[in-house]
Chain A
Amino acid sequence: MAKTFPRLRAIGWRVAQAVPVVVGVVVISFLLTRALPGDPAVYFAGVAADEASIAETRMAMGLDKPLPMQFFHYVGDLLQGDLGQSLTSGRPVSTDLANRLPASLELTLTALILAIVIAVPLGVLAATRPGTWVDHLCRIVVTAGVSLPTFFTGILLIYIFYYLLGWAPSPLGRLDFIYLSPDHVTGFYLIDAALMGDWETWWGAAKQLILPATTLALFTLAPIARMTRAAMLTALSSDFIRTAKAAGLSNRAVLYRYAFRNALLPVVTTLGMVFSFALGANVLVEKVFAWPGIGSYAVEALVVSDYAAVQGFVLAMALLFVALNLMIDLLYTAIDPRIGFEAK
Chain B
Amino acid sequence: MLTVKDLSVMFQTRRGAVDAVRGISFEVSKGEILGIVGESGSGKSVTSYALMRILDIGGTIKAGEATYSGVDLRRAAERDMRDIRGREISMIFQNPRAALNPIRKVGHQIEDVLRQHAQATRYDARRKAIAAMEAVKINDAANRYDAYPFELSGGMCQRIVCAIALACNPRLLIADEPTTGLDITTQKAVMDLVRDLIRERNMSSILITHDLGLAAQYCDRLLVMKDGRIVEQGDPTQIFSQPQHSYSRKLVDATPRTGASVRDLLPKDMRAAAPVLNPSSAPILEVRNLVKTYAGKSGPVQAVKGISFKINRGQCVGLVGESGCGKSTTSEMLVRLMDATAGQIVFDGGDIAKIPARAFAKDPRRADIQMVFQDATDSLNPRYTARQTIAEPLRRLGKMRGRARSARIEELAGLVGLPLSLLDRFPHQLSGGQKARVGIARAVALEPKFLILDEPTAALDVSIQALVLNLLVDLRAKLGLSYLFVSHDLHVVRLLCDHVIVMKDGQIVEQGPAQQIMVNPQDDYTKSLIAAAPKPPERAIEIPRPELEKTHVEQTAIHDKRAS
Instruction: Please list the residues of chain A having a beta carbon within 8 angstroms of any beta carbon in chain B.
Output: 3, 6, 130, 237-240, 242-250, 253, 257-258, 261-262, 335-338, 341, 344
Contact = CB atoms under 8 A, between A and B. Distances in A.
A245 B146 CA distance: 22
Contacts of A247: 85-86, 90, 112-113, 116, 164-165
Contact of B99 (A242, A248, A253, A262): A242
Contacts of A3: 146
B188 interface: no
Nearest to A235: B101
Contact of A246 (B90, B104, B112): B90
A243 B165 CA distance: 9
Contacts of B99: 239-240, 242-243
Given A246-B52, A248-B87, A240 B112 contact: no
Interface residues of B, number: 32
Contact of A240 (B90, B100, B117): B100
A258 B86 contact: no
Given A240-B101, A258-B101, A246 B116 contact: no
B103 A261 contact: yes
B169 to A, nearest CB: 13
A239 B90 CA distance: 15
B104 A257 contact: yes
Contacts, number: 87
Interface string B77-115: 000001111110011010100111111100000001100
A138 to B, nearest CB: 17
B104 A261 contact: yes
B90 A335 contact: no
A248 B95 CA distance: 20
5 contacts: A238-B98, A242-B99, A243-B164, A248-B90, A337-B103
A249 B103 contact: no
In the complex, the 4 A-B pairs of residues with the closest C-beta atoms, listed nearest first: A248-B86, A248-B85, A247-B86, A239-B98
Interface in B205-240: none
Interface string B44-84: 00000000101011000000000000000000000000111
A249 B101 contact: no
Contacts of B90: 246-248
Given A247-B164, A250-B116, A262 B102 contact: yes
Contacts of A242: 54, 93, 99
Contacts of A261: 101, 103-104
A130 B113 CA distance: 28
Contacts of A337: 103, 148, 150
Interface string B481-511: 0000000000000000000000000000000
Contacts of A253: 112, 116
B297 interface: yes
A250 B54 contact: no
B37 interface: no
A244, A245, A258 interface centre (most CB from chain B within 10 Å): A244
A17 B313 CA distance: 54
Given A6-B297, A242-B99, A338-B148, A248 B104 contact: no
A191 B85 CA distance: 50
A303 B87 CA distance: 71
A248 B82 contact: yes
Contacts of A6: 297
Given A247-B86, A335-B103, A239 B146 contact: no
B369 interface: no
Contacts of A336: 103
Contact of A243 (B56, B87, B93, B117): B93
A265 B56 CA distance: 24
A332 to B, nearest CB: 11
A214 to B, nearest CB: 34
Contacts of A257: 101, 104, 112
